[in-house]
Structure 1
């Protein structure tokens, strides 16, 4: 009986040791997985943070929203002529670095609005999208077109700042894109509401910048193409 009790106790002790060992192994595995997940999150966060300061020509897509002659004619924060020239300059930058552009239009007098003449050399049936929804990221055709580029940084030009630009920026951020807004490539009827719109976009994570800064980052070597073209855009930019 004593031997039997002894063996039973030894068996119970061994079982307890095995259970404890399994629990410790499990806990260690959880800790390792947690550490790996945190490292992955940190890496992804670093990538996103880095993208806010480094523009890669192979990762950018340009969106030009609602730049119609009759619309921008009401711009008060930037003259219509200056806005048109700078938007055209930005489109020229995109073309020079072979980056994709999307031209978004809205109804004007019951039909798709006509683009300003400065954008027409770069627009075609494939990259021009007519929409009825003010938020581009609620339009499947636009969302799909952006996804197909496999690019994660969007540079936004448009009118008005408080609608087309803001909704494009917030929609992009919501969907995991990096957003740049060159302020001399957008316009608005009211300076006060434009400033509020830009503050909201910046608070959400957008980078508020300028045509010259964006252009120079994308092609900093002005001694050869595409930098030579980029420099001409910078020199022609309207302040």
Structure 2
């Protein structure tokens, strides 16, 4: 009899929490691994996925009154949550408020995105894995200085057992079945935030 492990168990709306880490305006202006419009679209797709299924979500920022700047306003607006402002910890997992908000959900699978990928995403992902969490690093909703930094970070994440993924893959995993209660709402998120598949979805919705 096969026993499921965290590597074969899928995300569900009941077992996961979303963590959006340091998507701050002062950090985003220096990103070079993805076009800003594409990155923003991926971020919006991820948070609207979470909103569509009422997924518990935690948003944090490091020194938002300093050079890092405030969080993208769309993130707390869409998710309907307050931003946890850290006093200065670089690794968000070192913040008792952030870690406590994750723990309070009682969920062990963390869908995590952050800017910059090699710090804001990497460090808490490594720390969470060490404490027994199953972390999904959403690379296309994260960003860093250039492709080399992104590629090196992905290797370190996978070495630690973090699941590297994309926002649309997360959406599909959470939906699981087009006939689910979330099929229509998640399908509309796909239609609005994936250009090519969006054409397919828009044609389908137009028939209705």
Whether these two folds match at TM > 0.5 is yes
Which position in structure 1 is the counterpart of 2:176?
220
Counting only pairs closer than 5 Å after superposition, residues 55-94 of structure 1 correspond to structure 2 as 55-94=11-50
C-alpha contact (below 8 Å) 1:93/1:233 kept by paired residues: yes
Partner of 1:208: helix, strand, or coil? strand
Q: Number of paired residues?
A: 193
1:171 CA drift (Å) = 1.2
Whole-Å separation in 2 of the counterparts to 1:142 and 1:229: 29
Question: Is the Cα–Cα contact under 8 Å of residues 93 and 215 in structure 1 kept in the other structure?
Answer: yes
Q: Which stretches in structure 2 are left out of the alignment for 5+ residues? A: 197-208
1:198 is matched with which residue? 154
The gaps in structure 1 that reach 5 residues or longer are 1-41
- 1:47 is matched with which residue? 5
Structure 1 pair 120–145 and aligned structure 2 pair: CA distance change class (3 A): closer
Whole-angstrom CA distance in 2 between matches of 1:113 and 1:179: 26
Which is further off, 67-76 or 98-107? Answer: 67-76
RMSD: 2.3
Higher helix share: 1
The separation in 1 between residues aligned to 2:134 and 2:152, in whole angstroms, is 20
Secondary structure class of the residue paired with 1:78 = coil
Alpha-carbon separation, structure 2, partners of 1:166 and 1:72 = 16
- For the Cα contact (< 8 Å) 2:24–2:68, is it kept in 1? no
What TM-score results when the alignment is normalised by the length of structure 2? 0.83
Give the distance between the partners of 2:180 and 2:132, measured in 1 at CA. Answer: 34
Poorly superposed stretches of 4+, deviation over 6 Å: none
Output the CA distance in 1 between the equivalents of 2:195 and 2:26: 20
Rounded Cα–Cα distance in structure 2 between residues aligned with 1:182 and 1:111: 25
In structure 1, distance between residues paired with 2:168 and 2:174: 10
Q: Cα deviations across residues 115-173 of structure 1 (Å, max 9, x unaligned)? A: 2133132355x642111101111111111111110000001111111000101210110
Deviation at 1:109, TM superposition (A): 4.7
Q: Could you tell me how far apart the structure 2 residues matched to 1:120 and 1:109 are? A: 17
Q: In structure 2, do the counterparts of structure 1 residues 192 and 111 end up closer, same or farther at CA, with 3 Å as the change threshold?
A: closer
Are residues 157 and 237 of structure 1, via their aligned partners in 2, closer, same or farther at CA, if it must alter by over 3 Å? farther
How far did residue 50 of structure 1 move? 2.6
- Paired with 1:81 and 1:90, the residues of 2 have a C-alpha distance of 14
Measure how far apart 1:106 and its partner are.
1.4
TM-score normalised over the length of structure 1: 0.73
Name which of structure 1's ranges 193-202 and 126-135 shifts more when overlaid on structure 2.
126-135
CA spacing shift, 1:207–1:123, aligned 2, 3 Å: same
| Structure of greater Rg | 1
Residue of structure 1 in register with 2:199 after alignment:
none
